[in-house]
Every structure is written in structure tokens, then in C-alpha cells.
Amino acid sequence: MSVAAVEPPVAPGSGAQAAIARIAELQQLVAQANGAQPAAPTTSNGGATFPAALAGAAGTTAPSAAAPPPFGSLPVAAPTTAGAVPTTLGGTPSAFDGLIVEAAQRHGLDPALLKGLIRAESDFDPGAGSSAGAAGLTQLMPGTASTLGVTDRLDPAQSIEGGAKYLRQQLDAFGGDVTKALAAYNAGPGAVQRYNGVPPYAETQAYVQKVQVYADEYRVAPAAALAPAATVPPTLAQVTAPGGATAPLFTSAIPTTGSGTIT
């Protein structure tokens, strides 16, 4: 018995549901022709997609969508550390830049600020001294140097290390306030506490401003600030063709004679 001889009429329809119903009827006819028990006819795809129904009729399995990777399996960028201590100095170099950067890193200081302090204190003279008894690059007093573990105030490495440590102490004592810390370095923490800020001493007020100006000179400008130069837009010139006719021509050369005519 041929399939065509027993093929029932198909109800009119269109679209995916009609096609799926037709496929189901064909499957039943094939099963009857082979002597197998036909499956109950259906007119709906039961929620399956049309490609899945077609794949089922052909005896294959429709590919399923790839499952998204589990949360946490995607690569995550390494976190950056906010407020990281700079490792370079700008401005005019000194013979002590290496020691300054190393000491600044050990004590969590901006190396530009430490270098500005040294310039204001001694102008990079390791043998500098004051009438009050301060000495060395960071102008430590004998008692202060002793508490900081500095045995030779004229030794550049010891002086820079001691000055960095003392500046760190003042920053911690005044909540990270750079202005108050510098004032305390110059006039003593007691004076800053007494006046709740920079004491009204002309020397101290000038010192605080000077150190910060110097520090600005030694800070390295961020790479983002170094923007490339703007491209010169093309200018419209005139080309003189044989016979005197002119035609516009775009060129990136800027006219220097004002005529803009190429002959």
C-alpha cells in the first residue's frame, strides 16, 4: 500500500503550525506503512521551536544554545591600588633623587613633597647648618635626630631617612593634612596644635608655601596630559589649469604667499 493512496486531505493552514501538523501526519502514515503503532496525532508543537520540530521529524536533535559561563568564571581585571606612591621625580634632578624616592616609598610619602622639603631646608647641601643647631639635608635638630635613630646628621642617606620618617609622623598626627604637617616640621607640632593650623610666624608661613611650590615642580605630569598635537586641517587652494581655468584642490600645506594659486 502506497502512502499516497491513503493520504488524507490536509486542513487548510499556513505558517509554522500548519507545517508541523503536516509533518506529524506524514510520520503517522509512514508508521502505518511499516506496520508500527502510530503515535497520537498532534496539531501543536508543544512549545518546541519550529527548527526543533523539523529536526525531530528527520530523526536528529536540534542544537541547543550554548549555556553562559558560570558567574565568576570570566577573567577579572586585577584591582588597582588607589593612592599609590609615585616612583619617579620630574623637574631638575639632584644627586639625591634615588635616596629620596627610596625613603618616600618606605614611608608612604610623595617623593616630590620630600624633595621640595629638602630643597627648602638645605638647597641640597649635605653640610648645611643653622644658627639654631639644625644640620644636614633635612635640617634635623640633635634631639629630633636622636629620636629618629639618626647618628650622623651630615650623612645624606641618614638625613633623608630621618627627615622622611619625621614628615610621616607629622602627617599621621594631623590626619594627612600636608599644610599642617609641613608647619609642624618647621615650627614644631606643639605650635600647630596651639594655633590649630599654621602658626602666625612669617618664616613658617613662607616655608609651607615654598615647599609645596617646589613639590609641584618635581611632580611628573600624567601621561594623559601629554596629548598629541592637533592635525592641521587641509586648506582649499586653487589649481590653475591650461587656458586660465581654475579648479579647487585640497592640500595640507598652508599658503605662505596669500595667493593660494599653483601654476
Q: Which of 7, 25, 102, 121 is an active site residue?
A: 121
Cell for 246? 581654475
What are the residues facing 129 on neighbouring strands? Answer: 135
| End-to-end CA gap in the chain | 93
Cell of 200: 602666625
Question: If we measure between CA atoms, which residue out of 61, 68, 74, 16 comes closest to residue 43?
Answer: 16
Between CA 130 and CA 140 the distance in angstroms is: 10
Helices of type H across 108-201: 111-122, 142-147, 156-173, 178-187, 189-195
Contact between residue 104 and residue 85 where contact means Cβ atoms under 8 Å apart: yes
Q: Is residue 203 flagged as an active site residue?
A: no
Instruction: For residue 5, give the C-alpha cell.
Output: 493512496
131 burial (CB, 10 Å; 0-12 / 13-18 / 19+) is exposed
**Looking up cell 553562559, which residue turns up?**
68
In which element (H, E) is residue 237 found? strand 235-240
Instruction: Decide if 96 contacts 124 (C-beta within 8 A).
Output: yes
Distances from the Cα of 104 to the Cα of 145, 146, 161, 211, 231, angstroms: 18, 20, 8, 16, 41
Catalytic residues: 121
